[in-house]
Amino acid sequence: MTERNICPLVCLALWLGFPAAFAAPADAEKLIAMAREHPDSAELASAIREAFPAAEIAKGTAVAEQGPDFFFAIESTSEPRIVIDEDAPAPMAPLDSGKLHFYIASLATSRTHNFHYLIDGASFGGKFNVIAYGPESYLHPGVKPGHLTEKRVHTSTIYPGMQSDFWIYTPAEYDPKTPAAVMIWQDGEAQVERDGPSRSLNVIDNLTAGKQIPVIVHIFISPGTMNGKRMRSIEYDTVSDRYVRFLLEEILPLVGREYALRTDAYSRAIAGESSGGICAFNAAWFRPDAFSRVISRVGSFTSIQWEKEAQEGGNDYPFRVRREAKRNIRVWLQDGFNDLDNQFGSWPLQNIEMANSLKYRGYNFHLSFSNNAHGRTPGFAEDAEELTWLWRGYDASKTSEEFQMDPAEKDLPYYRVRLAERSPEK
């Protein structure tokens, strides 16, 4: 039997708030054009130093991208070689009497990449989760942007006194006379800047205009706060129906006063990253009559809110999926072998366990597994692929569908793990 090889490595990732590769982006197109025309010029060296903070160049974290095109730069008196993903080390072009070095690469889009340097035989610098945006992440010519509301604040009764920020987004095709499908996004503040890290609004507009997804009212909601306390883990990681009741009894009725929303589970989806990922699954698990489509990115199927003999944890979900009644839901899981491994559990192994459990019970699921670390950008990168898969076959004339495992998945074996050789560099 053919194995699916997934190699868990020592995780070097940080939490979702780690400094992102796209902060203050440099102009990749300009740098690449200069490097190709004048690869050894003083002007190129000057442009590199102007494009990146000096600390990034010195630390080996300077990188710029535009779609598939990447430009890397590092300052080193020794000759560095760059390692991208699992590729062989590559030599870099020297500048400024060998003090500055650069490298140009064309990389696969709609995913993230990792890189580091080898200098005098030792690993140095680099980053995880450098995003390579695909074509759907840039608003296509002729596609009309949708409408994003101002930030709104809701005060909860299910979480007494908790205040949550939220935004509502409707594509240009939305018609208030026709009830639309609904999608709820956890950690919504990360999705609402059109040309920010997520590019979600561009993806939504492009896919809707191209009829690859239906017309959807998108609700971007942030974790609440109560008396100055951030409620994210309590809302997202707790295995119960409390959060989904918050959505069904408070948020959706509130939005429904202003927008025409469909109420069937077939027309509702929910998505999130990390704790927001298990939160999305949790909502559909407890209320499959309300949500049938799930995206979980680097989902925290771990013991964050587990308490002995008091509270079940997300770590139990792989076993609950195998043993409890099958829910009529469609699930996209995304993770990577550099994800977290800490006191709460192993994110890569738990997501593999979830995939195998979903397969065992014949669920309609997909596991996207790469080399990424913990963070939001891997999900942002494959946003278009996720949404197209999640909503494929949607028929507005229907209110239900019995989701079945994809025929191609039935013929595939379970996911299996092979241990990679461990070394200090890994």
Q: What is the pairing mode between strands 181-185 and 268-273?
A: parallel
- Residue 5 inside a domain? The answer is no
pLDDT category at 424 given cuts 50, 70, 90 is low
Handedness of CA 83, 85, 88, 94 (dihedral sign): negative
Q: How are the residues of the chain apportioned to helix, strand and coil, as percentages rounded to the nearest 5? A: 30, 30, 40
Q: What average pLDDT does the segment 134-143 reach? A: 98
Which pLDDT score is estimated for 314? 96
- How far apart CA 137 and CA 9 sit, in angstroms, is 30
Do both 62 and 178 map to the same domain?
no
Please name the residue that has the structure tokens 């790469």: 370
Which pLDDT score is estimated for 143? 98
Which pLDDT score is estimated for 50? 96
**298 HSE (CA, 13 A, CB side):** 27
pLDDT category at 309 given cuts 50, 70, 90 is confident
Do both 244 and 350 map to the same domain?
yes
Which pLDDT score is estimated for 10? 32
Give the least confident one: 20-29, 128-137, 337-346, 371-380.
20-29
Distances, alpha carbon 137 to alpha carbons 21, 171, 311, 380, 383, in Å: 16, 15, 40, 9, 8
- How far apart CA 82 and CA 102 sit, in angstroms, is 9
Q: Other C-beta atoms within 10 Å of 109: how many?
A: 18
Q: Exposure of 51 by Cβ count < 10 A (0-12 exposed, 13-18 middle, 19+ buried)?
A: buried
Structure tokens at 412: 């595939």
Contact 332, 365 (CB under 8 A): yes
The string of DSSP letters for 232-289 reads HHHHHH--SSHHHHHIIIIIHHHHHTTS-B--SGGGEEEEEETHHHHHHHHHHHH-TT
Which pLDDT score is estimated for 22? 39
Report whether pLDDT(15) > 80: no
Report whether pLDDT(26) > 90: no
Structure tokens at 200: 């979600």
Do both 175 and 285 map to the same domain?
yes
Which pLDDT score is estimated for 425? 56
Do both 212 and 68 map to the same domain?
no
Last residue of a domain, one of 132, 149, 181: 132
Give the least confident one: 5-19, 95-109, 407-421.
5-19
Distances, alpha carbon 44 to alpha carbons 35, 47, 90, 97, 321, in Å: 7, 5, 20, 13, 56
Which pLDDT score is estimated for 20? 39
Question: What CATH number did the domain enclosing 154 receive?
Answer: 3.40.50.1820
Write the pLDDT tens digit of every residue in 58-91: 999 999 999 999 999 999 999 999 999 999 999 9
- How far apart CA 70 and CA 31 sit, in angstroms, is 10
- How far apart CA 302 and CA 319 sit, in angstroms, is 12
pTM assigned to the model = 0.92
Helix (H) or strand (E) holding 230: strand 229-230
- How far apart CA 378 and CA 390 sit, in angstroms, is 17
Helix (H) or strand (E) holding 93: strand 93-95
Which pLDDT score is estimated for 419? 82
Percent of the chain with pLDDT over 90: 90
Last residue of a domain, one of 106, 132, 158: 132
Report whether pLDDT(92) > 60: yes
Number of domains in the chain: 2
Do both 22 and 81 map to the same domain?
yes
Contact 67, 109 (CB under 8 A): yes
Which pLDDT score is estimated for 6? 38
- Give the three-state DSSP class for 319: helix
**Average pLDDT value for the chain:** 93
Do both 259 and 188 map to the same domain?
yes
Which pLDDT score is estimated for 12? 31
Beta pairing partners, 272: 296
Which pLDDT score is estimated for 297? 98
Structure tokens at 313: 């944890």
Do both 283 and 304 map to the same domain?
yes
Give the least confident one: 1-15, 128-142, 233-247, 277-291.
1-15
pLDDT category at 25 given cuts 50, 70, 90 is low
Do both 112 and 194 map to the same domain?
no
Give the least confident one: 18-22, 82-86, 173-177, 340-344.
18-22
Do both 176 and 299 map to the same domain?
yes
Do both 248 and 276 map to the same domain?
yes
Domain residue limits at 198: 136-417
- How far apart CA 382 and CA 409 sit, in angstroms, is 20
Which pLDDT score is estimated for 19? 38
- How far apart CA 280 and CA 187 sit, in angstroms, is 11
Phi first, then psi: give them for residue 345, nearest 5 degrees.
140, -175
Do both 411 and 283 map to the same domain?
yes
- Residue 422 inside a domain? The answer is no
End-to-end CA distance of the chain: 29
- 141 CB contacts (<8 Å, ≥6 apart)? none
- Give the three-state DSSP class for 321: helix
